[in-house]
Structure 1
Amino acid sequence: MTATAYSTVWDLDTFFKGGSDSKEFEQHLQTTREHIQSFYNQVHKWQTSNSAADAKDINAMIDLFQQTAKKLRQAGAFVNCLQAQNTEDRKAKALRGSTTELSAEFQTALTVFDQLLASFDEAGWKNILKDESLSELAFVLTERRERAAEKRSQEEESVINALAIDGYHGWGQMYDVIVGNIKISVREDGEEKQLSVGQAANKFSSPDRSLRKQVFDKWEKAWSGQADYLSKTLNHLAGFRLNVYKLRGWEDFLKEPLSLNRMKKETLDTMWEVISKNKAPLVRYIERKAELLGIDKLSWYDLDAPLSKTEMKVSYQEGARFILEQFSQFGEEMSAFSEKAFEDKWIEAEDRPGKSPGGFHTYFPESSQSRIFMTYSGTPSNISTLAHELGHGFHTYAMKELHLLNRSYAMNVAETASTFAEMIVADASVKNAKTEEEKLALLEEKVQRSVALLMNIHARFLFESRFYAERKKGNVSAERLNELMAEAQKEAYGNALDEYHPSFWASKLHFYITGVPFYNFPYTFGYLFSLGIYAQAIEEGKGYEEKYIALLKDTASMTVEDLAMKHLKADLTKPEFWKSAVQLCIDDVEEFLALTEKK
């Protein structure tokens, strides 16, 4: 019996036929606009009336909110996919502008709704939450109420949302335009190749150091060539945010990202403190890798280099089947969800020019379907990325029966599910290695993940923190951004590298995302938090999936500190949990060092 051949190209026609020319999608946008207006009219009516809204009124508003939010998220997900699959799709870029405007309009209506929640006194609010339908939404509604109380008036917040279309989100879209025009010209196998940034990035895992260096030099040159445009974009994004914070009386630029991630600054500080004190083993790994590669010191472009001269390649079909096999060892639901994703063409993995760099998962709530985007070239890291994004998908699947308001989990816990899925596959890869060379390569893949999450992400956090501190005083030049990035990388990597990547601030999409400020530390949180969950899963065996799903269901309805205490009996504000999680990373490093000692 021949194994199923899974498509490497996703199906978007299920949602709207015709791509960026879709008439169905045009109608969907119009219907979404009408829903937003209806929601605004409904909440505005009660805001301007003399009578107070009761639980029945709030329920009616929430029902319309849920319908509207689903339509808007469906539209946003579709446009994301269109732009990612073809960076030169001009119509998709125009549609991005339309969805951005709709999002701003909806945000204005939500501002009115939130102000309405904030208008209740404590006694009145407690009375509202006695309603059975609203009591299950108590956490998220109270959170919205408290956040509204910290902001400006509804009129002022509405103006901010309106100005954000061109003055904030527009700059985020500018980044997409700039990246879409960047091509990396590389000479490989005797011919000149024009690569997209996504294809070029995959070359950093080539066994050929001369190719890696060539790509890196061209990569630096390409991003540096756009530095003036990108520095202006980054400065305007940060400037807009900081001005909004100033209007609201927020002094700490970490206030919003911490609030959005439902975590305390004490937790964040403790996490970074424990990581900083435990970098030495990772530095030893970097030094050992340099020895194994026969060079004095690793450069940035060597970090993902394979130790074997024989490049490990795994076909998409083999990678898919391996992931499914490992997920089935963990639990039936994760395996069934992932199999459906492969069989129903939910994944865009084809290695072709014109695609966006990186990978992502997005959810279509009206269709209850996920879509996963990446460029699969057969490297072990590609398999990790695929497992990672399927983890995101399983998270949304686990919450599918919950009210939409109870499904809006923060980024830090979103990265927990994805990293957990990665670990299942990574551990299995090491255990199933056929040769010592293969085992070493796969073990190193795990260690590389620790380097990325505990060093690379730390560098991003240090850079962005220092950039925001300087941006408060005025614009920061491209030259200074390079200096800040190089300094952050040297500190985060313990001065272990010979050559760094000063233009990383320009090449990393995460610095330009308008929806989430500080798109960095949640990754590290999610990685270490998932290690704690994974340790528990290993201890309890296959039956753990039910507990895991219960944890995922709670991720959008409590703080991360409460989530950890409830499901892991761990206090995240204390170093003990973080030490135990980091130790699991160190264990991998020690095993790597032991395996390579005789080489």
Structure 2
Amino acid sequence: MRNALQPAQSQQTPAAEPESSALGELPEWDLSDLYSGPEDKALTADVARSADLAKAFQERWAGTLAEAAEKTGDDGLGAAIEAYEAIEELMGRIMSFAGLHYYGDTSDEARGKLYGDLASRITDASSHLLFFSLEMNRIDETMMAEAMERDDRLAHYRPWVEDLRKDRPFQLEDRLEQLFLEKSQTAAGAWSRLYDETLTHMRFDAGQGEPLPLEPALNLLMDGDPQVRADAAAGLTGGFRAHIRTFTLITNTLAKDLEISQRWRGFEDIADGRHLANRVEKEVVDALEEAVVNAYPRLSYRYYAMKAKWLGMDRLNHWDRNAPLPTASREIIGWETARQTVLDAYGGFDPRMAEIASDFFDKNWIDAPSRAGKASGAFSHPTVPSAHPYVLLNYQGRPRDVMVLAHELGHGVHQVLAARQGALMADTPLTLAETASVFGEMLTFRSLLDRTSDPAQRKAMLAGKVEDMINTVIRQITFYRFERKVHTARREGELTSDQIGRFWMEVQAESLGPAVQLNEGYEAWWAYVKHFIASPFYVYAYAFGDCLVNSLYAVYQNASDGFADRYLDMLAAGGTKHHSELLAPFGLDASDPAFWTKGLSMLEGLIDELEAADREA
């Protein structure tokens, strides 16, 4: 079942709120392609139907799958999977609507209740399906291989079956699996919701008169006035500290909850469950982490030393990291300009990408305005193959907002193309789910850069891109290392806020280097990173995707005809292929340690270009 509360999320932050008239008319999404609203009779009927179908499925197939593996047609295993997929699709539609409706205003108690009630109903119905994957994995290897040869309907699902069987060593006995499923409503899911609603209701005294929600307060850190940034940082620190015990309790509880699950399932490393879900080997992630850590001095250390000089400072305060350069454009980019910029960049690569992306604008698949209560950040949710993705933004007209739009539309194009694989095989592992989004950003950035001739503006754009890449690669690996410290230490006992804060300061100092001053209060800033709560160890997927795209883009720049076809085929594969199969047509191999060094070299090259421009100035 697709979880509407864990969509593909952007790690980037929009900018400070401008006058709405400068933005133009911002679109709001139309969820009626799922359901017309909470009172839609079709929604009520589908919830009831999903429960009936799940019960009927259990009655028809439980205890018979080994026999079905020896048959074909409507009594064969392929027919069983088709029926299972149809129920998953229906449940996914229900929960996609519930989640998107909730994210439109998480402060609305009625929306929260609807989401909670539907999640409970669907979880109860899902308990009747739980036997299926467990019983599938008890079928003998030889019997399954013979069934694949005999049953064409089963053979269609070969990638899903092979993926499913990778979970075999970590499955529990049926009743325990059912307990884990049902308790999820009052365990991780409930604590994650508490975190979301706490953060949504927080207000920060950021020196702007009225206290601000998190998103606008964070965005003041990109203001051109150093005092505005300092005041915002003080307000953020005060807000995080006021709730730090709540966030510490949530973190302790979720880390322990994950440890219990991992221990019962027999995982050894604290992140093994995430690696398995991502279908990526631990050794590959370790190689990525090592390559990034080794590159700290020549990437983040070097860049922040240059930026401190540009801003006339000996050292940057932690709140100055994302400050604009004095030469950066302050122009507000209207929605129509942003739309055309991204579509032109996509169309310049391949018209098919622009055509798919156009649907998001033309058919109200985007919710762009920043509203009170609306979820912060940005994401593209795939929903279900019979519908289409929806994109959430908090668009405020800065250059980085255009990059966020390009990023999320990359996800959207990927999700549209992969939908042809069906509900069970459309989802892409998180490590590759960031490929299209980061590639879309790169296309848009290069398009904008090619159209800019003013040296000062080019420098500002290059610096902005370097910062985005540092935030995507260096910062996300830093987050991963922080999570590893927290989850490792939690195995020895409950952690205090001071302990968690110390881990945060250690990894930040290590990654940012001597040119960044980590001021008092920064030890509480781990509290606003939602990925730590909703998706433990998700964060390395961003670094994986960025480095992969850097390598992929280098191939594109030197490729002959046919690259776009291979690229779109890769996206359309969804979850049917391992990363090694998907990258092979491009001559890339993520298991080779040199692969990550190659990916980081593009970021290093941009820093070299900035350094050269400094020498020439």
* TM-score for both structures, normalised by structure 2: 0.90
CA distance in 1, matches of 2:182, 2:268: 23
**Number of residue equivalences:** 588
Deviations 1:32-73 (A, max 9, x none): 3333333333332526x9887644432222122222222222
Match of 2:576 among 549, 557, 577: 557
Q: How far off is 1:74 after superposition?
A: 1.8
Alignment of 1:303 onto 2:321: yes
CA distance in 2, matches of 1:127, 1:206: 64
CA distance in 1, matches of 2:42, 2:211: 35
1:332-343 matches, within 5 Å, as 332-343=351-362
In structure 2, the partner of 1:67 is 86
Q: Unaligned 5+ residue runs, structure 2?
A: 1-22
Q: How far off is 1:462 after superposition?
A: 0.8
In structure 2, the partner of 1:417 is 436
Q: Is the 8 A contact 2:417 2:572 kept in 1?
A: yes
Alignment of 1:208 onto 2:218: no
Code of the aligned partner of 1:510 = H
CA 1:196–1:21: 2 relative to 1, 3 Å: farther
In structure 1, the partner of 2:602 is 584
Mean Cα displacement is larger for which, 303-312 or 352-361? 303-312
In structure 2, the partner of 1:279 is 296
CA distance in 2, matches of 1:110, 1:441: 54
In structure 2, the partner of 1:147 is 167
Code of the aligned partner of 1:480 = Q
Task: Report % sequence identity.
Answer: 21
In structure 1, the partner of 2:195 is 175
1:32-51 matches, within 5 Å, as 32-44=50-62, 46=64
Alignment of 1:570 onto 2:570: no
Alignment of 1:235 onto 2:256: no
Q: How far off is 1:5 after superposition?
A: 7.4
In structure 2, the partner of 1:157 is 177
Q: How far off is 1:539 after superposition?
A: 2.1
1:368-383 matches, within 5 Å, as 368-383=387-402
Q: How far off is 1:8 after superposition?
A: 2.5
1:64-143 matches, within 5 Å, as 64-105=83-124, 108-130=127-149, 131-143=151-163
Deviations 1:518-569 (A, max 9, x none): 11111100111111222222223675221111112334123223332x2222
Q: How far off is 1:403 after superposition?
A: 2.9
CA 1:63–1:353: 2 relative to 1, 3 Å: same
Q: Is the 8 A contact 1:212 1:301 kept in 2?
A: yes
Mean Cα displacement is larger for which, 209-218 or 326-335? 209-218
Q: How far off is 1:496 after superposition?
A: 3.5
In structure 1, the partner of 2:9 is none
CA distance in 2, matches of 1:31, 1:316: 41
CA distance in 1, matches of 2:67, 2:82: 23
In structure 2, the partner of 1:498 is 517
- Secondary structure, counterpart of 1:296 in structure 2: coil
- Secondary structure, counterpart of 1:184 in structure 2: coil
- Secondary structure, counterpart of 1:281 in structure 2: helix
Deviations 1:274-307 (A, max 9, x none): 2222222321111111111112211222122110
CA distance in 2, matches of 1:334, 1:51: 42
Match of 1:427 among 417, 431, 446: 446
In structure 2, the partner of 1:596 is 614
CA distance in 1, matches of 2:259, 2:179: 16
1:401-416 matches, within 5 Å, as 401-416=420-435
Deviations 1:65-124 (A, max 9, x none): 222222222222222222222121112211221343245346534431112212211221
Q: Is the 8 A contact 1:314 1:378 kept in 2?
A: yes
CA distance in 2, matches of 1:491, 1:129: 51
- Secondary structure, counterpart of 2:604 in structure 1: helix
In structure 2, the partner of 1:325 is 344
Code of the aligned partner of 2:261 = V
Q: Unaligned 5+ residue runs, structure 1?
A: none
Point out which structure has higher relative CO (alpha carbons under 8 A, 6+ apart). 2
- Secondary structure, counterpart of 2:187 in structure 1: helix
Deviations 1:108-152 (A, max 9, x none): 344311122122112211111112222232122022123134211
Q: Is the 8 A contact 1:207 1:308 kept in 2?
A: yes
Q: How far off is 1:588 after superposition?
A: 0.8
Code of the aligned partner of 1:203 = L
Code of the aligned partner of 1:137 = Y
Mean Cα displacement is larger for which, 365-374 or 380-389? 365-374
Code of the aligned partner of 1:440 = K
CA distance in 2, matches of 1:505, 1:54: 54
Q: How far off is 1:24 after superposition?
A: 4.1
Mean Cα displacement is larger for which, 320-329 or 432-441? 432-441
Q: Is the 8 A contact 2:463 2:610 kept in 1?
A: yes
- Secondary structure, counterpart of 1:386 in structure 2: helix
Deviations 1:415-455 (A, max 9, x none): 11111101101111222124222211211121012211222
In structure 2, the partner of 1:440 is 459
Code of the aligned partner of 1:210 = Q
CA 1:315–1:154: 2 relative to 1, 3 Å: same
- Secondary structure, counterpart of 1:399 in structure 2: helix
Alignment of 1:17 onto 2:36: yes
* TM-score for both structures, normalised by structure 1: 0.93
Match of 1:511 among 532, 541, 550: 532
Code of the aligned partner of 2:302 = R
CA distance in 2, matches of 1:338, 1:471: 44
CA distance in 1, matches of 2:594, 2:144: 38
